[in-house]
Structure 1
């Protein structure tokens, strides 16, 4: 059963005349008759009584007409809902972000987004990088915010924020006098870093290994 057939059927129900209905639809009368016959074959019962030039709906036709109104109404509602979704007037948005992002970067953005789009249900989840990747690939998240680089063929990454890493040290520590700190310096000092399960820690370890060194003693 096709929507076009239902459209033809509903027009014929209004006109109760094949020639006039065909003219309304802009098709030839034999084409309309053929589509109605196909629809009746699909239904398994006649939809119209044809007596001479007179056409009347059968009980099956009346039932199908009733449900056809509902079908096209639901389609209209679906189009309206999708249109609102495209215009950010309604819908759901689920974001997975690193905990530091959730705490420091997102609060004001979320407030402004809610003011602009009050009917969008926004969910922000603090997650680790691997879990964010999994959520995106499983279509459980609409958006993920992680640290670069993102190396995955099925995930598109768009850089939107840059921030230099800083080393916090006691005021009187020798390294505090340096104008900047390189990763190579970390092997010379004890350092407190995030656990190995965090992407940022893994990135620091990777960069240190590339330099032939490793971070100093760390406490998790």
Structure 2
């Protein structure tokens, strides 16, 4: 049996995956759980990699795991390898058909997805050989999947200041959206705008702490020098938040596009009202993708078809008509 070369030992897919996951979590137990292996098996693979390169890649300070200088070099090299592999994959895909194959789309979990569901149906009826795969993801999962080429397009809110390296990516705006304050105060039911200090008199239902909109809410309250809302429950989707808010009379905050998709009469019956914050919290809903993805025929065609879909009836009109 042919003995593996040093390069083969270092750059096997499994070895790089294990190294990247540990570098991401900096925790052997957590990394092993995510990878679906035992901690001793992960430790063995990392030790094997360190023996191959001839230098420790990690070191510990107390219970904290850190990358060594060699580890940083290996991490940079691994990212470059993945970038080359992704570019190679994209170059191959660019020569494929515009009307067949798969398109993997990651949608931020806090987004109302009805328009995209309807477009998937529209797309299948017009082009059944093109398969659209939709995944509802967290912000972190979206960026990991974009980087690892597991999704072709992300549908998410921008700006996203947590992302420092925008160089490989581009975005295409879908709509501008606003965050609305959802409450049950009769005296404020006709108020179009709400001051931040008037929104914390009752408990809130919120998104999970690591979600984009939760981050935006906390940062804006901080900038307005108002205490962050007291959260009594956390949910991942706007439907869950609205249902909890309506049935418990708690406050929450939801995108205007989502509220437009709901039955306003039913909300009024439940004494549930929506107002904009002052100052307003605005953000854009956009497609995000690696720059060379736009050259892949089926993805380029998908984006053109979606734009035509909205030209026939705009995004907000589709939300309203879907609610009738």
- Structure 1 length normalisation: TM-score? 0.55
CA distance in 2, matches of 1:115, 1:197: 37
Question: What is the aligned-residue RMSD (CA, Å)?
Answer: 2.3
- Which of 186, 192, 213 matches 1:179? 192
Q: For residue 111 of structure 1, report the CA deviation from its aligned partner.
A: 0.9
2:106 is aligned to 96
Provide structure 2 residue ranges, at least 5 long, that are not aligned to the other structure: 1-92, 234-324
**2:156 equivalent in structure 1:** 146
What residue in structure 1 maps to residue 216 of structure 2? 203
Equivalent of 1:137 in 147, 163, 169: 147
Q: For residue 203 of structure 1, report the CA deviation from its aligned partner.
A: 1.0
Q: What is the CA–CA distance in structure 2 between the aligned matches of 1:103 and 1:93, rounded to whole Å?
A: 17
In structure 1, what is the equivalent of residue 184 of structure 2?
Answer: 170
Per-residue CA distance 1:28-47 (angstroms, 9 max, x = gap): xxxxxxxxxxxxxxxxxxxx
Q: Secondary structure at the match of 2:176?
A: coil
Q: Scaled by the length of structure 2, what TM-score is found?
A: 0.38
Over 3 Å counting, the alpha-carbon distance change for 1:164 and 1:129 in structure 2 is: same
Quickly say closer, same or farther: Cα 1:82–1:189, change in 2 above 3 A. closer
Specify whether residues 103 and 208 from structure 1 end up closer, same or farther in structure 2 by C-alpha distance, changes over 3 A only.
same
1:183 CA displacement: 3.4
**Which structure 2 residues correspond to residues 25-104 of structure 1 after superposition, within 5 A?**
85=97, 88-101=98-111, 103-104=113-114
**Per the alignment, in what secondary structure is the counterpart of residue 131 of structure 1?**
helix
Could you tell me how far apart the structure 2 residues matched to 1:82 and 1:191 are?
47
Structure 1 gaps of 5+ residues are: 1-80
- After TM superposition, what 4+ stretches of structure 1 lie above 4 angstroms from structure 2? 81-84
Counterpart secondary structure, 1:146 = strand
1:92/1:120 contact within 8 Å kept? yes
Aligned residues: 137
Cα gap change, 1:159 to 1:183, in 2 (>3 Å):
farther
- Normalized per residue, the structure richer in strand is 2
Aligned to 2:205: 192
Q: Which gives a bigger RCO, structure 1 or 2 (Cα 8 Å, sep 6+)?
A: 2
Contact 2:222–2:228, Cα closer than 8 Å, also in 1: no
Q: Does 1:114 align with 2:128?
A: no
Distance in 2, matches of 1:129 and 1:157, equals 15
SS at match of 1:147: strand
Matched-pair contact (CA < 8 Å) for 1:93–1:121: yes
Instruction: Give the CA deviation at 1:131.
Output: 0.5
Asked if the contact 1:191/1:215 (under 8 Å) is kept, the reply is: no
